[in-house]
Amino acid sequence: MHTTVGIIGGGPSGLLLARLLRRAGIDSVVLERRDRAYVEQRQRAGILEQATVDVLRAAGAGERLDREGMPHDGIELRFGGRGHRVDFPELTGGRRVWVYAQTEVVKDLIALHLDDGAPLLFEAEVHAIEGVDTDRPVIRYTHEGREQTLTCDYVVGCDGFHGVARNAVPESAKRTYERTYPYSWLGILADAPPVFEELIYAHSERGFALASMRSESVSRLYLQVPNGTDPADWSDERIWDELDARLALDANPAWRLKRGTVTAKSVLPMRSHVTEPMRYGRLFLAGDAAHIVPPTGAKGLNLAAADVIVLARAFAHLKDTGSAELLEEYSATCLRRVWRAEHFSYFMTTTLHTDPEQSPFETQLQLSQLDRIATSRHAAAELAENYTGLPFDAAL
């Protein structure tokens, strides 16, 4: 089998790229190692930037998002026993974000893909990528018990940090930058209405907490915990009590943490990672295959979407003009946005979390920065602009 673009990974970035390529008249094949049920249930991000929503709509994947997604016009910062709301539209000229889980984005894109009859192979285990430094790369994979090959003009790795694509780039041809944080998130899904109509980010002496949601009846909540924490060591009651203590909502009688049945519980390590460049020969890396951000800034899925938007434009430019100029610029173009998002995610993480080794001096610096956001329009606007996503063309 031959295709113009072989896409490894059927998550949101791989599926969105395939959709954008199809609309541009460019053929592709998506190879996903997991089955469809697993991919559609894989819990990840839940916040979409304005630019991500705009491209999903343009790709024909916005109908259910517009019907069921929850637009948010701000976030609540809680620190030092008080709260402050950051108003996104007022500070950014009208931009906002949407709560719409990655699981739902993936379901929408898979349905569109299959309706079009475009090649999407689940349970296709890629075990080698060959010839990326030639004009005819080859992907070797196993599907339905048979070893098969896919020849391509180009290969795009959307298969994550541990995937085949990133590891296909020789160590001598890449640079890596990484930071591991001294804490993790204990996350739960609960059948309980959200505390508030927007997200609450809380800094406290006991550690960070985040109150989010997946719908009007399902809450997504997080607690900062030590690295290596076993979720089984945290009973449901202990989690709810700790959320109560860290969110400190007693001062506002309209807000109460609504307890319900915990349906999922997991621990998420926190780290930042960038691989440069994001291209080797005819192999392109996108999403987590090229970069990882801590989830505090809600950038992961949005960065992946930005990568494939740039890549789809470059492939369309090649098809229309015969020029590979935009493909040559892909890595440099994306990395400008990647490093901005890395910085913002680092800022949000280190400002809101309590490092086990930090001094009282460092805690006061955190509180001073949060107070600056609460009292300065310029500081609040900087947070709002980065959180909602810098205007796409300006940031690229």
Residue 346 annotated among the catalytic residues of the structure: no
**294 catalytic, yes or no?**
no
pLDDT at 395 over 90: no
Query: Is 222 a residue whose pLDDT tops 90?
Result: yes
Length of the chain: 396
| Spatial CA neighbour of 246 closest among 355, 379, 238 | 238
| Catalytic choice (141, 295, 330, 353) | 295
Kindly name the residue from 12, 72, 280, 294 that is annotated as catalytic.
72
Predicted structure pTM score: 0.94
Mean pLDDT over 268-295 rounds to: 96
Q: Write the DSSP symbol of residue 392.
A: H
Q: Which pLDDT score is estimated for 84?
A: 95
Residue 141 annotated among the catalytic residues of the structure: no
Is 353 considered catalytic here?
no
Widest CA span of the chain, in angstroms? Answer: 65
Catalytic residue among 107, 291, 299, 353: 299
pLDDT band at 1 (very low <50, low <70, confident <90, very high): confident
Tokens of residue 272, six digits: 């930042």
User: Which position among 222, 280, 330, 387 bears the catalytic label?
Assistant: 387
For 325-391, give the DSSP string.
HHHHTHHHHHHHHHHHHHHHHHHHHHHHS--TT--HHHHHHHHHHHHHHHH-HHHHHHHHHHHH---
Is 387 an annotated catalytic residue?
Answer: yes
pLDDT at 254: 67
Each residue of 3-51: pLDDT tens digit? 999 999 999 999 999 999 999 999 999 999 999 999 998 777 789 999 9
Given a contact cutoff of 8 angstroms between Cβ atoms, the answer to whether 19 and 112 are in contact is yes
Does position 252 have pLDDT exceeding 80, yes or no?
no
pLDDT at 253: 63
User: What angle in degrees, to the nearest 10, is found between the helix axes of 377-388 and 330-352?
Assistant: 130
Secondary structure (3-state) at 19: helix
Q: Does domain 2-70+100-178+270-353 have CATH number 3.10.20.590?
A: no
pLDDT of residue 227: 96
Q: Give me the mean pLDDT over the 373-384 stretch.
A: 97
Catalytic residue among 100, 141, 183, 201: 201
Per-residue pLDDT at 78: 95
Q: Over the stretch 64-109, which tens digit does the pLDDT of each residue have?
A: 999 999 999 999 999 998 899 999 999 999 999 999 989 999 999 9
Assess whether pLDDT exceeds 80 at residue 255: no
Domains of the chain, residue spans:
2-70+100-178+270-353
